[in-house]
Structure 1
């Protein structure tokens, strides 16, 4: 690591109970690193955008917005999408650990872990990420995205990943770091659409892809994209595309010079 303090790695800790981290914070202050703290998740997210730290220690269970929502927003923000995130938390359930890693964190550590081990893990991830700026990835001219745009990106990604079992609007909003009314306004302002109209549009587009690229039957495609039945899917598809799923598949395969795929139709 470099000796110049201004060029030293910068660690940001986001935790609403900093008193639980006395051991590791004490060790961090002994290192030739810069250290910043935030006890509120929204404040922590804003500090991450402003400070562009080299690594973030992030709690999960926090009031107002949990660490998973913060991580989603960090991953969708141009200024922080490459920043290593280590969850340091008491949330030790298997499903929580899996979700944290699935969101793109580089590590998931329980607060009961020995502070020296936590420090060792931080060192490893700093060594892996501490590189000269590449393609301006750490430069100050990275175009910032405002919070509404970030929440929109998070919501759009969540929708695309959960077509078959769509969360409620309240759950999508919470995971995107906002609330129902604000998320609805964001969709109208940026996409000119309601959240539900957008979801239906994405479902139909995904249905078109599956009809063109797979031999799945209509019922299976309906299940895959979140319709209750092949009949409901067919009705919505005809209203949007102007033809039935079977007709669309046949037309797509004729354009590709293929024979129409088999399978049960609507």
Structure 2
């Protein structure tokens, strides 16, 4: 007679990995739920990005399967917010999408997604990718716990600020800093974050005392100052890389902010280094 202790079904379920599926397609949800249920994962469902974002904060799943194109808040915008929230930024997000262009894949991976699964999906591929990223996430948690005494986000949720305004602000700042060369508009930025212009503008004034445009301009000029001092990139190229219309427009803005032209600033930095080589 086999007397080996066996875990009860309830205990086994409680130890199973918890996956949050975020998709506005009922057919896709049913198919994914049926597939993952058959392999004993614990599942939660959200029908759009906004609901997914809220449930991720509340439930702290081990992994999120996220559709890209959804109403209210799309997958990319949701992922941006999850990345800025201390209690959810470590949760791996796998995007589900019918569009698989290189640009879209790169965008998703750049903002924090760990992988892509194309629709219509292959069941074995879904299972393989889910298991791979659950394993990697577990290894990352073990590594982090072995090298620090700081509690993981899920252990320390009560002491971490999950203020929605602050999260939106930080997501906006990260987006701006990653795309300084582009022609950004407040409406466009707000749309990419699942928000709207008036709300984002009000939030920026309240939290930073600046408009979104003023912050964008300041970031461009601060970055330009670093590049002038640390690289040999020409003034014209720096202007182009940081979204200024031309070198003249850049020089005017730089002098207005720092009191010297870009060329004069670079010369002063070089002169200082010649005088003090250790700098």
1:72 Cα deviation after fit: 1.1
- 1:175 equivalent in alignment to 2:183: no
Q: Aligned to 1:102, which of 82, 99, 110? A: 110
Report what 1:31 is aligned to: 39
1:61 Cα deviation after fit: 0.7
**1:159-218 CA-partner distances (Å, limit 9, x unpaired):** 112112232211111112211111101110111000011111111101100110112222
| Aligned pairs (5 A) from 1:161-240 | 161-240=178-257
Q: Distance in 1 between matches of 2:54 and 2:129?
A: 25
TM-score, reference length from structure 1: 0.90
Q: Aligned to 2:175, which of 145, 152, 158? A: 158
- 1:63 equivalent in alignment to 2:63: no
Q: Contact between 1:58 and 1:87, CA under 8 Å: does it hold in 2? A: yes
Q: Secondary structure at the match of 1:186?
A: helix
TM-score, reference length from structure 2: 0.86
**1:83-105 CA-partner distances (Å, limit 9, x unpaired):** 11111222333322232222221
Q: Secondary structure at the match of 1:11?
A: strand
Report what 1:262 is aligned to: none
Q: Secondary structure at the match of 1:257?
A: helix
Report what 1:87 is aligned to: 95
- Which has the larger displacement, 136-145 or 8-17? 136-145
Q: Distance in 2 between matches of 1:258 and 1:184?
A: 45
| Aligned pairs (5 A) from 1:36-47 | 36-47=44-55
| Aligned pairs (5 A) from 1:121-136 | 121-131=129-139, 134=145, 135-136=150-151
Q: Distance in 1 between matches of 2:106 and 2:255?
A: 39
- 1:21 equivalent in alignment to 2:38: no
Q: Contact between 1:159 and 1:166, CA under 8 Å: does it hold in 2? A: no
Report what 1:264 is aligned to: none
- Which has the larger displacement, 43-52 or 87-96? 87-96
Q: Distance in 2 between matches of 1:144 and 1:14?
A: 24
1:138 Cα deviation after fit: 4.2
Q: Secondary structure at the match of 2:198?
A: helix
Compute the RMSD of aligned alpha carbons.
1.9
Q: Distance in 1 between matches of 2:132 and 2:273?
A: 50
Q: Distance in 1 between matches of 2:238 and 2:197?
A: 29
- Which has the larger displacement, 53-62 or 248-257? 248-257
Q: Which runs of 5+ in 1 are unaligned?
A: 260-266
Report what 2:3 is aligned to: none
**1:112-167 CA-partner distances (Å, limit 9, x unpaired):** 12223212221121122124562422433231322221221121112112112232
Call closer, same or farther: CA 1:40–1:29 in 2, change over 3 Å.
same
Q: Which runs of 5+ in 2 are unaligned?
A: 1-6
Q: State the 4+ residue runs in structure 1 displaced beyond 4 angstroms.
A: none
